[in-house]
Amino acid sequence: MKGVFLVTGASRGLGRSIALEVAKSGNTVIALARPSIDLDNVESELQTIDKESIAIGCDMALESEISTAVTQIKQRFSHLSGIIHNAGTISPISNLMDAPREVWERAIKVNLVGVQDLTQSLDSIIGGQSHTRILTISSGAAQRSLHGWSAYCVSKAGLDMWTKCVAEEGVNENISAVAIAPGIVDTAMQKEIRDADESDFPLLPNFIDYYRNGELSNPDDVAEKLLPFCLGESGENGDRLDVRNL
């Protein structure tokens, strides 16, 4: 049966690939991301597959924009079959003591606080008589400290625990939640990492080598593997998985 799935960070990279994969599986997609030509293009691509799919501009760091996006979603849809929390930022790549407070704080908002805000605000149209799957995009950085990635590591570790909390509390609400680490994917975030200063990020040569050696995963391939987990067809409630083991 056709469902409605919200995908954040859907304008490019893995988010775009997930949005298109979900639409191709016969579902309607709400693509959420900061306003851009890329987001407009994704909306056009989605609507060639499913005319009911839409894109909404929203900065996940801004409470006001999340509120506006939620209003638009609720006006148009009565139930969400899934939320794929893909939006994320790696910035600042900086020594912890040198990171600008406002940039460090923004990362926590985008990667964690905005996830809670968006999900909580959509409470009335998730779960209930029909199941909702919530999937969060995790990272190896959630489980190990990386010099220069303090905000990313902290927020992704928090996101993993947030997912477990949703899984725990959602059992009686017909909501399930899983977290999946996608591996090293060829996205704009990887380019941002390669452009970092080695004094801020000592592992920089490793990431340059991943790119040069062709070790980055194609986002379309990763999205295809993630699809059954996004749709709630695979994955046990509360799972924390790695796409490379799927």
Alpha-helical runs (H) found in 3-149: 13-24, 37-49, 63-76, 101-108, 114-121
Based on the number of CB atoms within 10 Å of its own CB, is 47 exposed (0-12), middle (13-18) or buried (19 or more)? middle
Q: What integer pLDDT is reported at residue 246 of this predicted model?
A: 86
126-145 residue pLDDT tens: 999 999 999 999 999 999 99
Mean pLDDT of the chain: 97
Mean per-residue pLDDT, 214-228: 98
Q: What integer pLDDT is reported at residue 1 of this predicted model?
A: 75
Q: So where are the chain's domains?
A: 4-183+219-245
From first CA to last CA, the distance across the chain in angstroms is 25
Q: What is the DSSP letter of 218?
A: P
Q: What integer pLDDT is reported at residue 156 of this predicted model?
A: 98
Mean per-residue pLDDT, 3-30: 98
Is the bond preceding 92 in cis, omega lying within 30 degrees of 0?
A: yes
Do the Cβ atoms of 14 and 219 come closer than 8 Å?
yes
Q: What integer pLDDT is reported at residue 72 of this predicted model?
A: 98
Mean per-residue pLDDT, 138-154: 97
CATH fold for the domain made of 4-183+219-245: Rossmann fold (3.40.50)
pTM of the entire structure? 0.97
Q: What integer pLDDT is reported at residue 121 of this predicted model?
A: 98
